[in-house]
Amino acid sequence: MTYNSNLGFISDERAIRMMLEAQMKTDGLVWWVGAYAYGHTTKGDPYVMLYPLGDKFEQKVCKVYPKEFKKLPAFIPTENIPADIQGKNAPDVSDAKRMGVYRECLGFQVVLYLAENTAMGNRRKRLQGVIRYSKDAQGALKNGRQPSRPATTQQPRQQTRQAATPPPPANGSSQNNKPHHPILIMIQGAANISSFNKAVYDGLKDTDLFTNQERIIAIRELVAPNWQLTNMNKLPTATALKIYRDKRRDIEGEGQSTRIAHQNALSEAIRIYNKGNHGAAVWESVTW
């Protein structure tokens, strides 16, 4: 047994683990991750760039290539990765935010290992694996394993195949349900993830909850952990985020705790999102 002034007597195994972790942190091989970005190399190979949790760090954590995608948490989608960053030189935190490619996510801790040397003679850092999840991330992973979640991603495609002639427009609704509000037209017209994020932020930003794009993206990841931008889900996604914001604000205004307000608002946002992905024009039921 080993005595620690803060923890009292601890096992030798735990003491060794603490010493190893402290040394690896000193060497920059243990990090809490709180954001990521997508990119393609000059050869067209996709990758995920991981960024540190919080505002204290500017540097990148590590780059993750397809053979290591299975090591990433389920709430970081790795299918059809867009070329938000082009080339091997991924931006640091501030530049990634400025470019609009910085995607905030739930926290998780990773351990890295030193791989081959760079052209400058430095050792590359590669992802060994995830060793811890934040409480919020644990909850999101549990929700993501619910059997109803995967099913909703397939049903819009089935409805499109079974649709009568003429086919529905690109947003997945009938001609009578086309959006008319300027905010919705702007969101539906977004050509890529960056313009979509900006359009949603411009439509939903406030002074207490959705104060930046990163906070909106974080809630979107909770509503739909495997979310990918499509013409059909643009309006349901924006509507779900508006429902979350408004309902959470109302519940907190009634004196409920932030945790309860978040849980109830998230539940309603997920319901609206799934309903919209089944073809319902959910954006017509709210005031924009």
**pLDDT (tens digit, 9 = 90+) per residue, 176-228?**
456 677 888 889 899 998 999 999 999 998 877 888 888 899 899 888 887 88
**What are 134's two structure tokens?**
């934040």
* Count of domains forming the chain: 2
Backbone angles phi and psi of 2, in degrees to 5? -125, 140
Domain co-membership, 82 together with 155: no
**What are 87's two structure tokens?**
């080339």
Domain co-membership, 26 together with 83: yes
Band of residue 122 on the pLDDT scale cut at 50, 70, 90: low
Domain co-membership, 154 together with 237: yes
Among 115, 138, 161, the domain-final residue is 138
Domain co-membership, 118 together with 157: no
Nearest CA among 205, 212, 211 for reference residue 100: 212
What's the pLDDT score for residue 23? Answer: 53
Does residue 115 have a pLDDT over 90? no
**Between 225 and 8, the higher pLDDT residue:** 225
Q: How far is CA 161 from CA 78, 100, 167, 269, in A?
A: 26, 34, 9, 27
What does the alpha-carbon distance between residue 49 and residue 119 come to, in Å, rounded to a whole number?
Answer: 19
pLDDT digit string, tens, across residues 10-38: 465 655 555 555 555 555 788 999 999 99
**What are 4's two structure tokens?**
């620690």
Residues comprising the chain, all counted: 288
Non-local (6+) Cβ contacts of 106 within 8 A are 34, 73, 75, 133, 134, 136, 137, 140, 218, 221, 222
Does residue 234 have a pLDDT over 60? yes
Domain co-membership, 208 together with 177: yes
Domain co-membership, 157 together with 280: yes
Q: Classify strands 85-86 and 103-117 as parallel, antiparallel or unpaired.
A: unpaired
Residues of the domain holding 71: 2-138
Among 117, 138, 159, the domain-final residue is 138
Domain co-membership, 132 together with 160: no
What's the pLDDT score for residue 71? Answer: 93
Does residue 152 have a pLDDT over 90? no
Does residue 150 have a pLDDT over 90? no
What's the pLDDT score for residue 53? Answer: 92
Domain co-membership, 57 together with 76: yes
Domain co-membership, 191 together with 95: no
What's the pLDDT score for residue 6? Answer: 54
Does residue 241 have a pLDDT over 90? yes
Domain co-membership, 131 together with 229: no
**Between 198 and 154, the higher pLDDT residue:** 198
Domain co-membership, 161 together with 100: no
